[in-house]
Structures are given as structure tokens and as C-alpha cells.
Amino acid sequence: MPATDTSHATISIGAATSLVANEVLRAAERAAVASGTRLEALAGLIARSDRVFVTGAGRSGLALQMTAMRLMHLGLQVHVVGETTAPAIRENDLLLTASGSGTTESIVRTAAKAASVGARVGAITTAATSPLADIADVCVVVPAVQKLDRSAVESDQYAGSLFEQVVVILGDGLFHWLWRRQGPSADELWLRHANLE
């Protein structure tokens, strides 16, 4: 019978949930403090762009799709890269990316292509010095571990979970900031969501 790791077996579900919530709160607050002006600059890019495209691999991509939906509620033209209905990116568009390492080949390649046609690039990453950060017009750095870091210094969670969770929080923070500045009511936003249901 194979041996099993019981080092974390005694933690309760309540303690596990509290650990995750506390890690996310600390990391999101640190990111907001460290990258406050960059977050405002990213919000400005979102507001000024003709269209917003989002891309990320795996769970980071799913996190950005949540942001895409919220930006659609603001009335922005938003597309997920790779969807069959997504048009070609062009000048005055924004590509919003998320990559913990900043080295994910498909994300870096997409960012480089977007920049080559005059689109702006926003990046959320843990790596301030990375190929993605080098391409980005605005780079927001999240104090979280990358997938292969098992040191448990920044997070006890598995495989980059903290980064992906903070991407969701930052996306909702960007949405909330833009929403409060634009001024539509929650009822007006809901009409954009409920139209096809």
C-alpha cells in the first residue's frame, strides 16, 4: 500500500478556508499598495481602449474571463482571445494578460503580436522581470508564488492558487473602481447581463 502524506491531515475545513481567505486578503492588499498607481494606469487603459481582449492559460485565463464579464457589464466591447467570435486585435485595443511566471509561451507570443499592431498590453504577474513584463505597457505585480515553488514562504496553497485568486480580486477591484466613476446604476448593469437569459 502506498504511503500517504498526513502532514496536513489534521487541518479542519474551516481552518483551511480561513487560511485561503487570509492569504488572499494579505496578497491582494500588498499588490494594491505596491502597484496602486499601476492599477490606476491599467484602469485608465481599460477605459480609453476601443476594445478589451483578455488572455491567460489555465486557471489564470479563467480568472480573467470573470473580469471580461464584469467589463462587459460596464458596456465595454470585450473579447476572450481564442474564442471563435473574437476579432483580430488592432491599434487602440487593449490586451489584458495574466501569467504568474510571465514566461508562458502562448501568452508572451500573443502579447508581442498585440504590441506589434499598436495595441496596448496590460499584464498581471508575479515576475516584475520577465518577457511578459518587458512587453507590457502596464505591469501589476502580485506578491504570490509561482506554480513550481514549494517553499510555502508566500503561500501554503497548492500550485499557484494564490496568484489566480488575486487575479480575480484585482479584476473585481478594477471593475468596481471603473463602475463607481462611470456612474450607471446596478439595475442598468443588470440589464446588460440579463438580456439573453
List the Cα angle 99/102/107 in 5-degree steps: 65
Q: CB-hemisphere CA count at 13 Å for 173?
A: 19
> Directed axis angle between helix 58-73 and helix 186-194, to 10°?
120
What's the chain's length in residues?
197
Residue 169 and residue 24 in contact, taking contact as beta carbons nearer than 8 Å: yes
Which positions are annotated as active-site residues? 164
Q: Exposure pattern of 152-164 as b/e (b: 16+ CB <10 Å)?
A: eebbebebbbbbb
